[in-house]
Amino acid sequence: MNVPQVHETLQCHYPTCAVQITSAILLKVGNLVKLERKAIVCYISPMTDLFLATNNPGKIREYEQLLAPLEVRLWTPRMLGLEITVREEAASYVENARIKALTYVQASGMTTLADDSGLEVDALDGAPGIRSARYAGPDANDADRYQLLLQQLEGFPWEKRTARFRCVLVLATPDGEVYSTEGVCEGIIAFEPRGSHGFGYDPIFFLPEYGMTMAQLSPEVKNRVSHRARAVQEMLPILSRVLAGQTRHSRKGADGQSHLSS
């Protein structure tokens, strides 16, 4: 490929690009590069980018599997060095997720998927609900939270321990589009924790149709029946459409013009 002489460095900072042209030396990784009037035009690869508004390793593992059909490249705050504290103090899952999505879409410049989820126990009037992650205090771990819940349900018979996991997803684009979906999984709070898979309240969330807790399910089964899986299934058609329209991006070149890939 013949590259005309360029007397300056042009670097694309779009996350998927590893493209740099300096003094007629072309370096590229996975992307096609075209020069027009000393401008760099990047064609992103078929795999598109999606920012996940979480550093929770359990959620990230699940999203990697749940979003696999889209062949997207996932980014997290830690991967981009973003240290942002989002106060989840809204009165609903959808509003908490919306706040996270809008915060990170602005910070990352990428289409962003955020969620808020919780465990709703009927005998506790829906608690812990949107406070599920903070139920036992800011420094508590998963075991602290579900052990507290078990203590509060002491004496409640099996039929009074009905509960559900709820997950709300919010997708936000740099262009200002916002979409939301919801998934619910019904179950019963077990009398003791069982299982080593999953995270959060999974060890005490019993699924009668499977005869085991969420933490006893294989990841493959959980990712078909969980609240997060159901929310993602509702979101997949929206994600497919939104990301299909983002397979190109522009960068202003040395001539001051915006050059759009096609």
The residues, any chain, with a CB within 8 Å of residue 218's CB and separated by 6 or more, are 197
3-state secondary structure of 170: strand
Question: What is the maximal distance between C-alpha atoms in the chain?
Answer: 79
Which entry of 116, 122, 202, 255 is annotated as an active-site residue? 116
CA 150 distance to own-chain centroid: 29
123-to-85, 126, 189 alpha-carbon distances in Å: 32, 7, 10
What phi, psi does 119 have (nearest 5°)? -105, 125
Catalytic residue list contains 116: yes
Looking up tokens 């042009």, which residue turns up?
10
Note if the bond before 138 is cis, omega within 30 degrees.
no
The residues, any chain, with a CB within 8 Å of residue 40's CB and separated by 6 or more, are 10, 12, 19, 21, 33, 34, 251, 253, 259
Annotated active-site positions, please?
116
